[in-house]
Structure 1
Amino acid sequence: MLRAKYYGAETIITRPYLHYVYHCPGADQDVLKRAWTYIRSSKESLTASKLREADWGNSLEDLLESDPTQSRDGISTKAIRSMLLSHACMWSSIRSTKAFNGIRTRLKVTNIFGTIHAQFGNCLVLAQCCESVWFKDLDGFAPIHEVPKLLEETMHKCKTYSNLAPALGKDYQVLHKALYSIRGLQR
């Protein structure tokens, strides 16, 4: 439970970076693509989920706290930071959702509507990222293979508890459409 809350907080903190990268103007996309290529080439032996935990020389924190006007290999640290944190946001959303889905019984202390609706929000963000042509161009960025199962599990919880909160029934319908869309893209 605490792990899920931790990843949920991390998602909320890093979501503005994902929003920035997702909605960046076309001119910035080239810089961000180069930043992602730099990140992947620097840590190519790592899986995407371990990328942000890797040893970055003076540490990831130093990179995140560095002057955004500085550069590494001609790429601004601002672009590298934005890509790392937006990637971290997606993986935190996945980890949070997986952790909550791993809790098999309803906890008495948990606001079930708030918990499931938060997972709905995570799944919606992940589904949108998986549909994005911009993110598909970034090798290894969007975890499209992880998302359908997370949507299905969250949909099941929405349906199970929709009698307690009718809004969860609407959440179910939205996730159903998103899942259908993602599955259409995977074919």
Structure 2
Amino acid sequence: MASLTFVTVALCALGCAMALPTPDFSYVREGQCLAMASSGPLNYEMFTGRWVEAASRPNIFRRERQCRDFHFIITEADTPLRVTSGMDKDNKLTEVITELVPKAAPSTFDVQIEGFSTSDLVVVDTDYTSFACLYQCQQATPDRKVEWAFIYARDLSQADVALKRCNKVLQAQGFDVESILVSPTPKETCNTAL
């Protein structure tokens, strides 16, 4: 009887363990954050305004799943902000505001959410009118990183040009551009929601 109870408990434990979802750590990569260089100091005035996300590396931390864009804003206190918006998995509008604290390196920022440092962001390249290539990375452990790339256009009609330019620039600095995917922007959803 004791052995039957043990087998029953063991089978139940195995079945329960199999039913639990396995954590997804695919976004954590081996290595160090890239020492991504920008094309020079960022002109805040020219960079301000709305940018539409043309492509990015998938990011499980983001609430916005489609129709993503961001506004680069300079507050009255000369604080740069990134306001990211889009539609969540339930097609509801969502918005996240992050403060961008300038660092010593040109076009590089410490991304802060409610005063907590989360990662570094580099505006790698931009022409201010049609494309912007951004790299964001957080060193999770000494040998593991969480990194993203964002490719923005001022308008989705410029998405192909932005993607081509940013892939070239990011790849030249060692970023895995094969992991970048075109961002979902279904017209029936994005045109009515944003």
Higher strand share: 2
TM-score for both structures, normalised by structure 2: 0.25
Higher helix share: 1
Instruction: Report the structure number with the largest CA radius of gyration.
Output: 2
